Amino acid sequence: MAIFVTGGTKGIGLAIALKFSKPGVGVFLNYVGDDVAAAKARVQVDATGATCHLIKCDVGTAEGAARALEQVARHTKQLDQVVHCAVKVLVSPLLTVDLDAFTRAINVNGTALLYVVQAALPLLVRGSTVFFLSSRGGRMVVKNYAAVGVGKAMAECLMRYLAMELAPRGIRINTVAPGMVDTDALHSVFGAETAQLLAQNAAANPSGRGVRHDDYCSLIEYLASPAAEMIQGQVVFVNGGHNLAA
């Protein structure tokens, strides 16, 4: 078994990678810049008995995604799970945002799902699953979150179109959207307000607490199993009922 996770050396991506890590599993963690975090992630994955491979590439370009999957193909002929979790945060109002930086962020947060799926396709087989990690910012306005939110909304749409082409091959693709989770990306957006926002979010949740890593990881584990064979092209929110709307 083998899993490839973009943005896999920190936060949500690393939590998902660790959920699948066990002896005999090849874990391919993609990252773009933080070598220290990558080294720490390797230690955590290797401690489970899995074999960790670090793939340093920018999947926000088609060429970068192709290079990343070429490296994966040197070690395995099959990917059972592909998870696009990489995110590029750009904190700025839209009317004054740097347009080149915005475009780069949109490519990582949105279009890269297509780049990664195309590059991974030769390694995907019947039963393989692809996951995109989204958030509520893709469906509602969050201050200074446009570069992430617009990208995620785009990728959710891409996911549905990809589902129609992947389903006949026996390959599933779904989106999981966890509620607010304490990650580096969240701190990049909200800075010093992050801890207070997490506490408020947990207090307001009808389920009585905030979202934990295992909440969404357990869902992804199920969606990757044969039992979820007919769940295709869906967006599943994991938020305890927070932000429900008709």
pLDDT tens per residue, the chain (246 residues)? 999 999 999 999 999 999 999 999 999 999 999 999 999 999 999 999 999 999 999 999 999 999 999 999 999 999 999 999 999 999 999 999 999 999 999 999 999 999 999 999 999 999 999 999 998 777 788 888 899 999 999 999 999 999 999 999 999 999 999 877 777 777 777 777 778 877 877 888 888 888 889 999 999 999 999 999 999 999 999 988 887 754
Residues sharing a CB contact under 8 Å with residue 86, sequence separation 6 or more, in sequence order: 6, 7, 13, 30, 32, 59, 60, 108, 109, 112
pLDDT at 232: 98
**Is residue 40 assigned to a domain?**
yes
- Domain range for 74: 2-181+213-238
Sign of the CA dihedral with 15 first, then 192, 112, and 65 last: negative
**Is residue 190 assigned to a domain?**
no
**Is residue 243 assigned to a domain?**
no
**Is residue 14 assigned to a domain?**
yes
CA distance 177 to 197: 18
Residue 229 in tokens:
């064979």
Instruction: Report the domain count for the chain.
Output: 1
**Is residue 206 assigned to a domain?**
no
**Is residue 53 assigned to a domain?**
yes
Q: How many angstroms separate the first and last alpha carbons of the chain?
A: 40
CATH of the domain at 150: 3.40.50.720
**Is residue 204 assigned to a domain?**
no
**Is residue 46 assigned to a domain?**
yes
Residue 64 has a CB neighbour count (10 Å cut-off) of 21
